[in-house]
Amino acid sequence: MESVYASPALNRLLSDCADAVAAVRAGRSLTEVLAGVPLASRPGVQSLAFHVMRWMGGAEAVRARLAPRTPPPRVESLLITAIALLWPEADAPYPDHTLVDQAVTAARERTPAAAAFVNAVLRRFLRERTALVAAAQQDPVAAWNHPAWWVERLRRDWPAQWQDHLRVANSHPPMTLRVNARRQTVADYVRLLERQGQRAWPLPAPELGGQALQLARPCPVQRLPGFAEGWVSVQDAAAQRAAPLLLSGGAGGRPLPPGARVLDACAAPGGKTAHLLEAAELDVTALDSDPHRLARVQETLSRLGLSARLQVADARQTARWWDGQPFDAILLDAPCSASGIVRRHPDVRWLRRPQDISTLARTQEELLNALWPLLKPGGRLVYATCSVFLAEGQQRIDAFLQRPQTAGAHLDAASPGHLPPLADNPPTSSASPQGGSGDGFYYALIHRPP
């Protein structure tokens, strides 16, 4: 699991983690919750909370068996936190006795009257752990640590791979970097890391654009040489496919010329915008409907020494922001379920609801319909989602290409299609190399007829 800081005291971290777990169960994003945790505690609380999110289905099921009457929220969230951290398959970060002792100490501070109850429940769990876990895992939610609807959708979409999808969602993702080609070469940066005792290796696949490398072990960005100076950014390997695909034109197009007019339609937090500008001289408009998220795009570009035209707007409402000049290329990294990046955001599985997928699919369709007319004749559009659900990828583009407004458009043969986050599974297009350890993504490159 992610490294846990020795200070503050474990009981304080457990208490803050329990509050974060309660917030996620109430529908709040873990990222938002962690932003409010004191800075000294945040790394440790995040580490513990990520661990709990990955095992929460089982922990909730066991809690229900050990305490059939639901305890008050502050007690329940602490029990779920402790049980998840004591889960036998979960590489527990602390010895059992330490975890129980510190959880009881946290209970005394949070809800003093419940401390004895917490102690009794956790000690019974340790005594009967094997039987309790086996019984709980008869329920798919406890067995796979995902909501039942999520498990069923993966089973339908990926009948031969659904179990692998669920297993990998509970693994730790690699830390992949994108070296700023305007500042460093990948080879030079690997040597810089090695001089600091950090092992890394280039990811030379041309689909990634030649700027990618992977660290042997994740580390805080502050430990990356030249991070503040814009030498490098953190970006998953699958996400690094977007810019090269748009720039190259795939198998059916030509590279974008210098000065090409490009729209990044849902730009925040700015990684793909920056990748485009690092790789080519472009006239880029970066659009996002959230001003706070768009501010992150500006922060990213400023750190890297890059510039783009930033606009706060809903991309679907073109009359409010478009100047009437068509674009040579459009990158639409559409809002989606984030089901492909659940390793990095393990709370997503618990926050999403089944109806969200159809709602997001409608938004994706509206964005495609609104942006397609903004392309020049002969222009290109890359549609991307960080989702493994077919409704947000292949099915969305199949439906779009059947609409009268896209007559004559064609899907480029170099489109990767669905990229499962599985090392032993190929993507859905033969034009892409065999799988990898990147996040789950979908990509389609569509050409508008001349």
Question: Residue 418: which H helix or E strand, with range?
Answer: strand 417-419
Say how far apart CA 209 and CA 151 lie, in whole Å.
34
Give all strands (DSSP E) within 204-281, no chain letters: 212-215, 232-234, 260-264
Residue 409: other Cβ atoms inside 10 A: 17
**pLDDT digits 0-9 by tens, 274-307:** 999 999 999 999 999 999 999 999 999 999 999 9
Residue-level pLDDT at 91? 75
Residue-level pLDDT at 435? 34
pTM of the entire predicted model: 0.93
Residue 78 tokens, joined = 């602490």
What type of residue sits at position 322? W
308 in Cβ contact with 294 (< 8 Å)? no
DSSP assignment of 276-316? HHHHS-EEEEEEES-HHHHHHHHHHHHHHT---EEEES-TT
**pLDDT digits 0-9 by tens, 234-264:** 999 999 999 999 999 999 789 999 999 999 9
Say how far apart CA 438 and CA 135 lie, in whole Å.
34
232 in Cβ contact with 180 (< 8 Å)? yes
Residue-level pLDDT at 335? 98
Residue with tokens 């007319």: 373
Residue-level pLDDT at 89? 73
The residues carrying an active-site annotation are 386
Residue-level pLDDT at 88? 85
Residue 436 tokens, joined = 């990898």
> What is the Rg, in whole angstroms, of the alpha carbon atoms belonging to the chain?
23
Domains delineated in the chain: 10-145 (1.10.940.10), 176-234 (3.30.70.1170), 239-447 (3.40.50.150)
Residue-level pLDDT at 92? 77
In the chain, which stretches have pLDDT less than 70? 1-7, 90, 424-437
228 in Cβ contact with 300 (< 8 Å)? no
DSSP assignment of 102-116? HHHHHHHHH-GGGHH
Residue 444 tokens, joined = 């389609």
Say how far apart CA 115 and CA 75 lie, in whole Å.
9
**pLDDT digits 0-9 by tens, 420-447:** 998 754 444 433 333 346 999 999 999 9
Residue-level pLDDT at 424? 52
